[in-house]
Chain A
């Protein structure tokens, strides 16, 4: 079996498990709506301030809801004792990482595909522009790349799901700053060329951390 097929086998396993229970997607979706709702009450997002505050609300919703999904991806394996099965499978350990990463990305993308049109309708701004989608896409990849590594790491701690956000948020500051700034400037009418530096930063972050996580994942699961 080629490397890619092994990766896709893990992805398919996660997708099928999710389609049966719908635990992860439903909790992420509901949680992201609730986050937006709470910000609506906190900041009273009327037209005058919406461009200023909405990018932050979007990225907070993605980040917070994303943590829920990332946490589940390895906790489920651990609780059902299937982690050992994965580790015993005759394949490179990085295949597990990429399988889990793609699975997590799929779940977060699905959440975003519901969240973005919903926010577009609720706040009357066009979040569905191609440039904004590109920024969200790149940011999500970097977020999930580090998040998947740290999710595997935090299941080995006493606090488990509490640990993940504490570990993840300080390291993903570049994604958050770049995502919020780029989204905000696109909403203000800037073009993709104007925010090229943010896009470059996001792409660099994605590349660096996917490479780092690929190497370091072996050490996380070596027991």
Chain B
């Protein structure tokens, strides 16, 4: 890689980071100020809380995309055995955990004024998000418990694949569970409590928000990958120094 090419790539990522930052500010303005108020919600609190929706859905979206990328990178690692794929898998998993956690926390904050509770086990999506978060926390714990880099990459890839396969099955199980068992307090689905009609502008804000979060995901993934590369390089220097000593 020539020096000129590298600086070109660096410039590209710096510009993209800047653009993402600006888009986040615009997205905040759009979701908090510009987006129309969900007029059919009964109280002002619920109407204000509804604006968390743009952040909440986008964070959830990035979480699931990130875990999908982890699974795909894990498969590729097992086939090709290139360190790069494992770096992508772990970087994406870490970002996914952060965004899924953000999704759960923002959902809780939204649920409090709307459903009158921080958490309900009656909603399949809520339960699923909690399970998925646990799968990927376990994934990161597994990685921490293995020292040898090759073994870490290989075993983590296996867990990344099995964990991802389990997600749709978990979803089916909580779905059947909740449709068979009628919810005791009200009905659990979003459309029946705190539901609102999406007007044209709301859809625009939502799509804009999802786009911005996706961009943020790629930027974060890039920097996390740079960090991982540097870590690997540092390990190699350490090994070389140890070998000399």
Contact = CB atoms under 8 A, between A and B. Distances in A.
Contacts of B138: 166-167, 170
A174 B155 contact: no
Contacts of B145: 157-159, 163
Interface string A154-185: 00111100010011011111100110010001
Contacts of B142: 153, 157, 163, 166-167
B225 interface: no
B155 A220 contact: yes
A167 B180 contact: no
Interface stretch (B61-69, B160-168, B214-222): B160-168
A216 interface: yes
B177 A170 contact: no
Interface in A108-161: 146, 149-150, 153, 156-159
Contacts of A158: 145-147
Per DSSP, chain B at the interface is helix
Per DSSP, chain A at the interface is helix
Given A157-B142, A159-B145, A167-B138, A173 B173 contact: yes
Interface residues of B, number: 29
B159 interface: yes
A198 interface: yes
B141 interface: yes
B31 interface: no
A167 B146 CA distance: 14
A204 interface: yes
A157 to B, nearest CB: 4
Interface string B142-154: 1001110001001
A204 to B, nearest CB: 7
Contacts of A146: 162
Interface stretch (A22-30, A41-49, A205-213): A205-213
Nearest to B77: A219
A172 B138 CA distance: 13
Interface residues of A, number: 35
B155 A201 contact: no
Contact of A219 (B134, B154, B173): B154
Given A157-B155, A201-B169, A220-B154, 15 more contacts: A150-B159, A156-B146, A157-B142, A157-B145, A159-B145, A166-B141, A169-B134, A171-B162, A172-B166, A173-B131, A174-B172, A177-B170, A201-B173, A212-B165, A219-B154
Interface of B: 78, 131, 134-135, 138, 141-142, 145-147, 151, 154-155, 157-159, 161-163, 165-166, 169-170, 172-174, 176-177, 180
10 contacts: A149-B158, A153-B142, A166-B141, A166-B142, A174-B166, A177-B170, A198-B176, A209-B162, A212-B165, A220-B154
